[in-house]
């Protein structure tokens, strides 16, 4: 058993390349050299190795730092052993980037939230008020929590017409979801 990242790097120096492991499970918090630093260094020295974080840390900063360092996967220590084994097999067979379901969700949220502000600012600068009065009316009702059927009833429109207006709103605001449109409408004080 290795003590930390420094010990791992020392042991790797003594191994012939044919004895190198395919995958290495790395904890983030270790005494002398933490896992993120270990992966950063080892990826340069041994680019053929695959590193999967196996840790208790589920916060966004650690996930982001590990991925930036070159981690090929991110698993939590409380994952079932069978899941961890399946992830190692999956990595070896398909080269995928295995993650605990909880980490995958956080990673997606991190990526989505990182890209939305830039897109919103760009859109706001480019299009001060691109929506028609009817589209603004539909957007306001959407922000107020009405679904498309309720909007249709309230405005005496067909459901398909409301759906078409919503599609136009998304297109004009350069968004893909109702949540993004609502966020832009409330942040941009469009309504």
Do the domain assignments include residue 117?
no
| 123 class by beta-carbon count within 10 Å (0-12 exposed, 13-18 middle, 19+ buried) | middle
Q: Of 14-23, 74-83, 140-149, which gets the smallest average pLDDT?
A: 140-149
Are 92 and 171 in the same domain? Answer: no
User: What share of the chain in percent tops pLDDT 90?
Assistant: 26
Domain that holds residue 11: 5-107
- Percentage of the residues of the chain whose pLDDT score is greater than 70: 87
Share the mean pLDDT of the chain. 83
| Residue 114 confidence (pLDDT) | 63
Record the pTM. 0.55
Residue 77: phi and psi, rounded to 5, are -65, -20
CB atoms within 10 A of CB 19: 8
Q: Which helix (H) or strand (E) holds 73?
A: strand 73-76
Position with higher pLDDT, 94 vs 87: 87
Q: How far apart are CA 120 and CA 136, in angstroms?
A: 17
11 and 63 in a single domain? The answer is yes
Over residues 154-175, the pLDDT tens digits come to: 999 998 898 899 888 888 888 8
Read off the CATH number of the domain in which 72 is found.
3.40.50.2300
> Which tokens belong to 2?
């290795």
* pLDDT category of residue 127 using cuts at 50, 70 and 90: very low
């Amino acid at each position: 058993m290795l003590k930390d990242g420094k010990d791992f790097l020392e042991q790797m120096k003594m191994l012939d390349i044919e004895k190198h492991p395919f995958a290495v499970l790395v904890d983030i918090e270790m005494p002398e050299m933490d896992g993120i630093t270990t992966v950063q260094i080892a990826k340069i020295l041994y680019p053929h190795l695959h590193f999967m974080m196996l840790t208790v840390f589920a916060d966004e900063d650690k996930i982001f730092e590990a991925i930036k360092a070159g981690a090929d996967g991110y698993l939590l220590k409380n994952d079932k052993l069978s899941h961890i084994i399946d992830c190692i097999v999956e990595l070896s067979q398909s080269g995928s980037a295995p993650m605990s379901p909880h980490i995958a969700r956080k990673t997606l949220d991190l990526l989505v939230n990182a890209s939305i502000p830039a897109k919103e600012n760009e859109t706001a600068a480019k299009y001060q008020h691109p929506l028609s009065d009817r589209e603004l009316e539909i957007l306001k009702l959407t922000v107020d929590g009405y679904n498309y059927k309720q909007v249709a009833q309230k405005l005496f429109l067909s459901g398909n017409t409301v759906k078409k207006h919503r599609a136009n709103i998304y297109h004009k605001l350069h968004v893909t979801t109702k949540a993004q449109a609502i966020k832009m409408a409330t942040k941009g004080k469009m309504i």
